[in-house]
A and B are shown apart, each in its own frame.
Chain A
Amino acid sequence: MTETSFDVKTIRRDFPILNREVNGKPLVYLDNAATSQTPQQVIDVIVDYYQNYNANIHRGVHSLSQEATDAYEAARIKIQKHFNIAKSHEVIFTSGTTHGINLVANGFSSFIKEGDEILVSAMEHHSNIVPWQMLAERTGAVLKVIPMNQNGELVMEEFYALLSNKTKLVFCNHISNALGTINPIEEIIHAAHNIGAAVLVDGAQAAPHIKADLQALNVDFYTISAHKVCGPTGVGMLYGKEEWLKKLPPYQGGGEMIAEVTFEKTTYADLPHKFEAGTPNICGGIGFGAALDYMNRIGFENIASYEDELLQYATEQLLAIEGLKIYGTAKNKTSVISFNIQDIHPYDIGTILDKLGIAVRTGHHCAQPIMDFYQIPGTVRASFCFYNTKEEVDILVKGVERAKNMLL
């Protein structure tokens, strides 16, 4: 294993929360797949907004409104550049990934008819299953599942077998939140396009690790949440190809998404405002942009390389614990380790780890079909970020051993 020159100690100074104690022990935060922590640089931007230019955007004639509008739209441009999106109006601000998926699923009611097929991967979390089930119920479409193998990898032969001229939509996560698998989305997008189907990729887990080039991917829709990339909660991004966004009907009605309203008829605003009804999360959007700036300063290649090191180290250390089994052993995976020890309930391990100051996620991770596949109630999930250290991995391993000794 090659050591990177990544200076984690310096980086950790940016995250004030990492200095706190939990249950009398130094915090070891390993629940990054649920939400990442926020650096001081982003906190400062949020504070600056509320202290100096808090105002509603787009419609105000006064200076504060203009400043807020400029900062919000600048954030949209930052997102556009980060993901190499062709046009800034293809960036829709949402409240998060779930909102983005629901927006598309609702809009597709106009294009899906009874008997059409929509394909979902077997390793989705509920946010990328339920909206499509609801679409299928509304339209009479058929939901089909792309299966996965025991390693937590999609069975691509089965995917190709499921594709047909009935397939209208394929949706898949870029990285699985429960298993860490990096899915072959380039191949999926290419194959789906060959038969004329559209593809939505849930990029929520990928965004903190991979700087996706959405033009190169040629994906139709891509969604992420800011709070997974060191930004604030309650804000996210939906990318949609212009041709699709023009075709999709508005998801919500209200201010900002209109061109003209009379009691007889309403005409809608142009993109992106057509999908941004009401006052948005202005401060969140600005913070989102600042978070991408922060991560880009560190560099995604550095982040990926360091997190791979952590993943490899943590995997080796955890597997040395007798009886520990990791779920999700894909060849191509990122810094998520989902595990159980014999028949100890994951909640029990999580509870003991919490007493030791270690924050992990336990349960089904909003991905119950994956747990059903493995026939387990859930897992303990340790998910790493670039501010975690090998020393923290050692603390986790000791904590897991202690929990095991107590619980068995």
Chain B
Amino acid sequence: MTIEKIQDEIVDEFSMFDDWMQRYEYMIELGKSLPLIDEQYKTDDNIIKGCQSKVWVHAELDGDKLVFTADSDAIITKGIIAILIRAFSNQKPHEIIDASTGFIDEIGLKEHLSPTRANGLVSMVKQLKLYAVAYQTQLN
């Protein structure tokens, strides 16, 4: 499935909820079901800077596609990174680089997060795209 379609799916899912408590509950569920990063990759190098809670992201190529795994010590943050990984993982690096991030605004994620968490969200998106740039260079 393309990044765009996955993002549309996520927007549809979030639009089903009436209020933000339900959306948080859903994010928490997503966080709990996130495929966890291998313990060996939970290193300081893989911590995303800018997040108040700890977030580790690991990226590796599977053929020509980039696969992300992640973890966080806070469950809501884990839910946020789970949404981002669902949107961007298992895609070709150049597709990740070119992908829009408008779906984040559409689901209202940023505006309903505290400023520190919203900054963390921006850092997470930036880091996923940086990984894509790095692996794209490798593939070239």
Q: Is A351 in contact with chain B by the CB < 8 A criterion? A: yes
Q: Are B53 and A345 in contact (CB under 8 A)?
A: yes
- What is the bound-complex CA distance between A406 and B21, given in angstroms? 10
List, in ascending order, chain B residues with CB within 8 A of A407's CB.
28, 75
Mark out the residues of chain A between 331 and 363 whose CB falls within 8 Å of any chain B CB in the assembled complex: 344-345, 347-348, 350-352, 354-355, 363
- What is the bound-complex CA distance between A347 and B52, given in angstroms? 8
Q: Are B24 and A354 in contact (CB under 8 A)?
A: no
Q: Is A278 in contact with chain B by the CB < 8 A criterion? A: no
Contact with B along A244-256 (1 / 0, CB 8 A): 0000000000000
- What is the bound-complex CA distance between A350 and B116, given in angstroms? 12
- What is the bound-complex CA distance between A344 and B113, given in angstroms? 18
Q: Are A354 and B20 in contact (CB under 8 A)?
A: no
Q: How far is the CB of B50 from chain A (nearest CB, A)?
A: 14
Contact with B along A359-393 (1 / 0, CB 8 A): 00001000000000000010000000000000000
Q: How far is the CB of A42 from chain B (nearest CB, A)?
A: 27
Known: A406-B28, A407-B28. Contact between A348 and B20, CB under 8 A?
no
Q: Is B114 in contact with chain A by the CB < 8 A criterion? A: yes
- What is the bound-complex CA distance between A407 and B32, given in angstroms? 9
**Nearest A residue to B25 by beta-carbon distance?**
A406
Q: How far is the CB of A126 from chain B (nearest CB, A)?
A: 16
Q: How far is the CB of B135 from chain A (nearest CB, A)?
A: 30
Q: Are A351 and B24 in contact (CB under 8 A)?
A: yes
Q: Is B76 in contact with chain A by the CB < 8 A criterion? A: yes
Q: Are A352 and B24 in contact (CB under 8 A)?
A: yes
Known: A348-B75, A354-B114. Contact between A377 and B53, CB under 8 A?
yes
For B25, B76, B117, which residue has the most chain A Cβ atoms within 10 angstroms? B76
Contact with A along B4-26 (1 / 0, CB 8 A): 00000000000000001100110
Q: Are A345 and B24 in contact (CB under 8 A)?
A: no
Q: Is B122 in contact with chain A by the CB < 8 A criterion? A: no
Give the residue of A344, A347, A352, A363 whose beta carbon is less than 8 angstroms from that of B77. Answer: A347
List, in ascending order, chain A residues with CB within 8 A of B24's CB.
351-352, 355, 406
Q: How far is the CB of B65 from chain A (nearest CB, A)?
A: 31
List, in ascending order, chain A residues with CB within 8 A of B28's CB.
406-407
- What is the bound-complex CA distance between A265 and B21, given in angstroms? 66
Q: Are A345 and B114 in contact (CB under 8 A)?
A: no
List, in ascending order, chain B residues with CB within 8 A of A345's CB.
53, 73-75, 77
Q: Are B21 and A377 in contact (CB under 8 A)?
A: no
Q: Are A351 and B117 in contact (CB under 8 A)?
A: yes
Q: Is A23 in contact with chain B by the CB < 8 A criterion? A: yes
- What is the bound-complex CA distance between A407 and B75, given in angstroms? 7
- What is the bound-complex CA distance between A177 and B54, given in angstroms? 24
- What is the bound-complex CA distance between A347 and B114, given in angstroms? 10
List, in ascending order, chain A residues with CB within 8 A of B117's CB.
347, 351
Q: Are A363 and B52 in contact (CB under 8 A)?
A: yes
Q: How far is the CB of A379 from chain B (nearest CB, A)?
A: 13
Q: How far is the CB of B83 from chain A (nearest CB, A)?
A: 15
Q: List 27 A-B contacts (CB under 8 A).
A: A23-B20, A344-B75, A345-B53, A345-B73, A345-B74, A345-B77, A347-B52, A347-B53, A347-B76, A347-B77, A348-B75, A348-B76, A348-B77, A350-B114, A351-B24, A351-B113, A351-B117, A352-B24, A354-B114, A355-B21, A355-B24, A363-B52, A377-B73, A406-B25, A406-B28, A407-B28, A407-B75
- By a beta-carbon cutoff of 8 Å, the part of chain A in contact with chain B is 23, 344-345, 347-348, 350-352, 354-355, 363, 377, 406-407
- By a beta-carbon cutoff of 8 Å, the part of chain B in contact with chain A is 20-21, 24-25, 28, 52-54, 73-77, 113-114, 117
Given contact pairs A345-B53, A345-B77, A355-B24, a sample of 7 additional A-B residue pairs in the complex whose CB atoms are under 8 Å apart = A347-B52, A351-B24, A351-B113, A351-B117, A352-B24, A363-B52, A377-B54
The 9 closest A-B pairs by CB, nearest first: A345-B74, A347-B74, A348-B76, A348-B74, A347-B53, A348-B75, A345-B73, A351-B76, A407-B75
